[in-house]
Chain A
Amino acid sequence: MTAQPQTLQRPARTDKGADLRPKRRITGPGVMRAYTWLIILWLILPIFVMILFGFNDTSGRYNQSWEGFTLKWYGRLFDIDDLTRGLITSLVVAVVSSLAAGALGTGIGYALGRYRFRGSGSVNLIMFATISSPELVMGASLLTFFVSLGVGLGVVTLTIAHIMFSISFVATVVRARVMTLDRSIEEAAADLGATAWTTFWKITFPIILPAVFSGVLLAFALSIDDFVVSNFTAGNAVTFPLWIWGATRVGIPPQVNVMGTLIFVAGVVIAVAFNIRSRRAQRD
């Protein structure tokens, strides 16, 4: 797979698409393009429904059929105390756990990407295990663990659990970046008399920072959306997804749609801004 045959007669083309496009059949890609858009629309449809029903002029909690346009739910966003508290809990847990997982995961990712050391295989293995284990089993085993220790479940156990499942993701992202790091830059710094410590903070860290940052963002997203592990480890604490789960039977109030919409918009804006920034940084 690594051997790339060189074309001798022609210069290598950079536009991959052009080479593969069959000249005779125009219909093939056209159909696939339509298909791709269809699937994308299917993926987006529930989001659209969620946003739309945040503007629905319903009277009670029953938010199933369209009653007309209103902005009132945006004004009454924080009317349901438990829901608001759930959202705050979600945000706090996401911030704390993504920062902690960011620190712990960066250490592992940096070590794995940078050094060859005995035991790295086991570290890889446990990371692989945490990423591929069913969330249900991770949540269930943590519950068992806390209960048999006599530890009461709550925001603390919830945060511990979120840090646990985020570490490996951060480490994987950071490791990928550290592996592609150009070592000669660090050597140049050392040649110019910088100590290892200075080299790390002045050279290495700024280069891997975007990876650390995307790792933390990923951890934040994983945490704020998590339902399964949270359901087992939260005890009486309620997060945004847990509150929605509890309300499923009695009906989801429009405030949930509005909060979902705001989280969605914030997430998209942050992701787009981050993307533009890193692209600009690449170009410079």
Chain B
Amino acid sequence: MSRLKRTIAPYLLVLPGGIWLIVFFAIPMITMLSLSLQEGDIVNGYTFTGHWQTYVDALDDYRTQLIRSLIYGAIATIILIALAFPMAYWIAFYGGRRKATYLFLVLLPFFVSFVLRTISWRQILTDDGPVLSPLKSAGLVPESFHILGTPTAVIFGLVYNFLPFMVLPIYVALERIDPRVVEAARDLYADPATAFRKVVFPLALPGVFAGVLMTFVPTSSDYVNSTVLGGTDTTMIGQVIQAQYLANSDYPTASALSFVLMAVLLIGVFAYAKVLGTEDVMKVAAR
């Protein structure tokens, strides 16, 4: 193979997909940023005026929903770590030959549409549904008690839908731990708790970080769970953005909100990835 061919080969391979990502990912982001600074309406068109006021107004109007989304996302992420860690731990260290089967079971929900799964929960958790109606007739909960429409229901849905994204990266990190390292700690008189705290947990941290990355962004920008399971006072920023775009056609406000959300989340993500090294996070995320 000639040297020239060797030099241009990677570029030729990257080019088609790279162009696609630039045209349909990077440029739209710029378009959106630009539109958020324009004035006008959908009928008469927009003109660029560098109108920062849109941001001020949008944040003024929807600060509550933005902060609420970040809080819901954070709570869901913390619950996800707590739920996923023991499970990933058990599968990695005690799963034996059935490890793959357990992981497959964890991934099973992905074979059903995200929207359908969430609607299924609404069916289960509804006021006269299979969970609440027996509890109510047994007198264990008051008649007026309900789950749907509450923040609990929304966070419940978020945790349910994104659990596999937390289990998998933690599992991958734990699975890579050489048991002899743990054994060495035990040989050096560390009790099981200390061995876990000083050896296993630090080695699992990259997995936890990757899991946070893969769950915090989608949970705090989600609008399916809050629409299907939530009520009027659980509105998340995603619902606002979606309504501004698709119902009100207020593109500058919607763009500004999207951009703020994107900026808040991505600055966090990149700072996070910078600290840990993008490659490492990507590697864990990819498996």
A residues whose Cβ falls under 8 Å from a Cβ of B: 1, 4-5, 7, 12-13, 15-17, 19-22, 25, 29, 32-33, 35-36, 39-40, 42-47, 49-50, 53, 64-65, 103-105, 107-108, 110-112, 114-115, 117, 119-120, 123-138, 140-145, 147-148, 160-161, 163-164, 167-168, 171-173, 175-176, 196, 221, 224-225, 227-228, 231-232, 240-241, 244-245, 248, 252, 256, 260, 263-264, 267-268, 271-272, 275
Contact = CB atoms under 8 A, between A and B. Distances in A.
Contacts of A161: 24
B75 interface: no
Nearest to B184: A5
A137 to B, nearest CB: 4
Interface in B248-287: 251, 254-255, 258-259, 261-262, 265-266, 269, 273, 278-279, 282, 285-287
A161 B28 CA distance: 11
Contacts of B220: 134
Given A16-B179, A134-B261, A115 B9 contact: yes
Given A107-B14, A141-B32, A145-B27, A225 B258 contact: no
A144 B10 CA distance: 32
A111 B269 CA distance: 26
Contacts, number: 276
Contact of B100 (A42, A128, A275): A275
Contact of B18 (A108, A135, A231): A108
Given A40-B105, A133-B266, A227-B115, A29 B94 contact: yes
B121 interface: yes
Contacts of A17: 93-96
Q: Which of B6, B11, B83, B179 has the most CB of A within 10 A?
A: B179
B105 A44 contact: yes
B141 interface: no
A260 B117 CA distance: 10
A39 to B, nearest CB: 5
A115 B11 CA distance: 10
Contacts of A13: 179-180
B163 interface: yes
A177 to B, nearest CB: 11
Contacts of A167: 17, 20-21
Nearest to A226: B114
Does more than half of chain A's interface fall in helix, strand or loop, or is it mixed? Answer: helix
Q: Which of A103, A138, A176 has the most CB of B within 10 A?
A: A138
Contacts of A138: 25, 28
B116 A164 contact: no
A124 B17 contact: no
B178 A4 contact: yes
Contacts of B124: 45-46, 49
A128 B273 contact: yes
Nearest to A172: B286
Contact of B113 (A25, A35, A133, A244): A244
Interface of B: 1, 5-7, 9-11, 13-18, 20-22, 24-29, 31-32, 35, 42, 46, 83, 86-87, 89-91, 93-96, 100, 102, 104-106, 108-117, 119-121, 123-124, 126, 128-129, 160, 163-164, 178-184, 192, 203, 213, 217-218, 220-224, 228, 238, 241-242, 245-246, 251, 254-255, 258-259, 261-262, 265-266, 269, 273, 278-279, 282, 285-287
A178 B22 CA distance: 24
Given A32-B90, A136-B223, A137-B221, A53 B105 contact: no
A130 to B, nearest CB: 5
A230 B6 CA distance: 39
Given A64-B126, A104-B20, A114-B10, 15 more contacts: A40-B102, A43-B109, A44-B109, A46-B117, A49-B120, A105-B17, A111-B9, A124-B279, A132-B213, A133-B262, A140-B258, A144-B31, A145-B32, A161-B24, A241-B115
23 contacts: A1-B203, A4-B181, A16-B93, A16-B179, A17-B93, A19-B183, A33-B94, A40-B105, A40-B106, A43-B106, A46-B120, A49-B120, A49-B124, A108-B14, A112-B14, A117-B7, A123-B18, A128-B282, A133-B266, A134-B265, A137-B32, A244-B116, A263-B113
Nearest to B38: A148
Contacts of B117: 46-47, 50
A50 B26 contact: no
A33 B106 contact: no
Given A40-B105, A40-B106, A134-B218, A50 B112 contact: yes
A128 to B, nearest CB: 6
